[in-house]
Structure 1
Amino acid sequence: MIKVRVPATSANMGAGFDTFGMALKLYNEITVEECSTETQIKLVGGKLDNNYSKNLTYESIVKTFEYCTEKYKGFNIDMSKADIPMSRGLGSSAACIIGGIFAANELMGKKLSVDEMLSIAVSIEGHPDNVAPALIGGMITSIVKDNATIYSKVNIKSNLKYEVMIPDFKVSTYDARKVLPNTYSRNDVIYNISRGAMLISALNNGENEKLRYAFEDKIHQPYRKKFIANIDEIFNKCREFGSYGEFISGSGSTLIAVVDANNFSFNTEIREFLNTLASNWKVIELEIDNVGAHEF
């Protein structure tokens, strides 16, 4: 029996559309064991998945076994402990994929390298921005070239925490991508390149005062903000309460404010403000996870 813990992830981080991703200390736990009978998957609340062949974790386990040309019959999979909210832009699908791949690799005696596991994950997810930090931990920059994923872990010297604001409504990833334009002006492209580069440099140098500019974006957030009610008011309040920067996590609906680790009033202040809005918001104060997926 293998028990795997996988962190939540936040992709894009402002200017890093489909490129930057960060693991956070919020986890799903997956237990997997091989069996000689039909696969059984336990979901949150103890409910059984009656259509397990379309379950992302199961699919990821099977693809990993097939990649290694290993035979299998069935699996008992327990996914009942899941703290990562679904369809909120915090990498719940990436956690399912990485959890399945990591568990399968452990069951087979650790045949695969990190790069091989990541390659399988990208083949399922379609892009590396969430699956890379879920597997490796930390903040990851990644690109795909000729079906290979090239990634680098950012050395963050800043002493930061992340105020994760999760509403009671979802944003469809399909709709969030559909709303984006097919082309961008040269000025908008330069705008994002400069901010993305500044974000990496400022985090690496501990230049927190420059983060205010580094999270700005013109590629996806201006088009997606219409799906998140009160986003401008929320971001304005975050600045008022001392955040260094704010961004839409993934395609939403979660918002994240980046705050100094010694700012002890922000959490209470933003909670009080969010309670005045029509939607219900949950605020979780998290740190970056630098470990990634691991057996426990």
Structure 2
Amino acid sequence: MADFGQPFEVRSPASSANLGPGFDSLGLSVPLYTTLRVTPQARTEVVPLGAELEGTPADESNYVYRAMLLSARRAGLTLPPARVEIETEVPLARGLGSSAAALVAGIVAGNILLGKPLGDETLLDVAAREEGHPDNVAPALYGGIVVATLDKLGTHHVRLEPPDHLGVTVLIPDFELSTSKARAVLPTEYSRADAVHALSHSALLAAALATGRLDLLQHAMQDYIHQIWRAPLVPGLSDILEEAHKHGALGAALSGAGPTVLCFHDTRHDTARLHSFLGSVMKRNGLEGRILDLPIDTQGTLVRAL
């Protein structure tokens, strides 16, 4: 019997990008996972599992498998055949980095199948160039809070360990919002005042997260670059951004392109008031959804032998 190699599992977390003013450059990971089980064999099989992936391609056109091919292309090698089973806890098109988790998991899985010719920095660069920005893929790969840039010279990042007592509350509405639609409403030009506001607040936010200044988050997370333009696409968003701090949130932001909304909270304090407020905003706007308290995932993408 031919030996095709050891089966393995790759698990990549969901992520929340921007965190207000850190547009396309700042994100964190949360413990909702996309998991691949890869078994080397004589022919390729792609097997999406579970209700969340119902209707996604069960062949080589699947996004995860195409991500695996990106590793082979960067390495200049041919991807060996394998059975790839895909499961996810990350809701699709909700602003929680479902595509980034799939992309990173696929790129990492492809690299393992190839014998690991690519290092982590190269894997990040492959993922960021495919997405067009590193804000989701960097925390999906490394975990924690990550500040990252993408330019002609490469992808560069700084990973921050989450401050003590910083927790995340997410409101996940029961409707989808595509990234392309959310980007289409953004202006093509900004005023100098808006640019200065974005630069100063993103810098303050990164510094506050790096030094544990939870008291600054409410102020640092203000944004004029994307949230005010996307607010009409997410009923109740403006109310949450303006009032969440009155109900126990340390700060609030649209998660990625939305419609999920992220609030930071202090884990030493009860979140019942915040949950009640978020629930009332949903009810007022005729929406249904889930409200979850989550820690920040600090492990990023994990690989284990099966």
The alpha carbon displacement at 1:275 in A equals: 5.7
1:32 alignment partner, one of 32, 38, 57: 38
Structure 1 pair 220–76 and aligned structure 2 pair: CA distance change class (3 A): same
Contact 1:235 1:246 (8 Å CA) reproduced: yes
Identity %: 32
The CA distance in 1 between the partners of 2:23 and 2:278, in whole Å, is 28
**What does residue 293 of structure 1 align with?**
301
1:76 alignment partner, one of 72, 77, 83: 83
The alpha carbon displacement at 1:158 in A equals: 4.2
Q: CA RMSD of the aligned region, Å?
A: 2.0
**SS of equivalent residue, structure 1 residue 225:** helix
The CA distance in 1 between the partners of 2:295 and 2:17, in whole Å, is 15
The alpha carbon displacement at 1:108 in A equals: 2.8
**What does residue 273 of structure 1 align with?**
280
The alpha carbon displacement at 1:269 in A equals: 2.3
**SS of equivalent residue, structure 2 residue 23:** coil
The CA distance in 2 between the partners of 1:71 and 1:137, in whole Å, is 29
Contact 1:30 1:79 (8 Å CA) reproduced: yes
The CA distance in 2 between the partners of 1:177 and 1:237, in whole Å, is 25
Residue 284 (structure 1) aligned with residue 292 (structure 2): yes
The CA distance in 2 between the partners of 1:275 and 1:223, in whole Å, is 20
TM-score (structure 2 length as normaliser):
0.90
What do residues 156-181 of structure 1 show as CA deviations (whole Å, max 9, x unaligned)? 43421110100011112112111111
Structure 1 pair 210–47 and aligned structure 2 pair: CA distance change class (3 A): closer
The range that moved more, 234-243 or 218-227, is 234-243
What do residues 36-60 of structure 1 show as CA deviations (whole Å, max 9, x unaligned)? 1242323324968555232111001
Structure 2 segments unaligned to the other structure (5+ residues): 1-6
Structure 1 pair 220–75 and aligned structure 2 pair: CA distance change class (3 A): same
Contact 1:26 1:286 (8 Å CA) reproduced: no
What do residues 54-75 of structure 1 show as CA deviations (whole Å, max 9, x unaligned)? 2111001122123323334532
The CA distance in 2 between the partners of 1:270 and 1:157, in whole Å, is 25
Q: Which amino acid aligns with 1:179?
A: V
**What does residue 107 of structure 1 align with?**
113
Contact 1:135 1:293 (8 Å CA) reproduced: yes
TM-score (structure 1 length as normaliser):
0.93
The range that moved more, 46-55 or 141-150, is 46-55
Matched residue count:
295
**What does residue 4 of structure 2 align with?**
none
2:61 alignment partner, one of 39, 44, 54: 54
Residue 10 (structure 1) aligned with residue 3 (structure 2): no
**What does residue 132 of structure 1 align with?**
138
**What does residue 50 of structure 2 align with?**
44
The alpha carbon displacement at 1:195 in A equals: 0.7
Contact 2:128 2:134 (8 Å CA) reproduced: yes
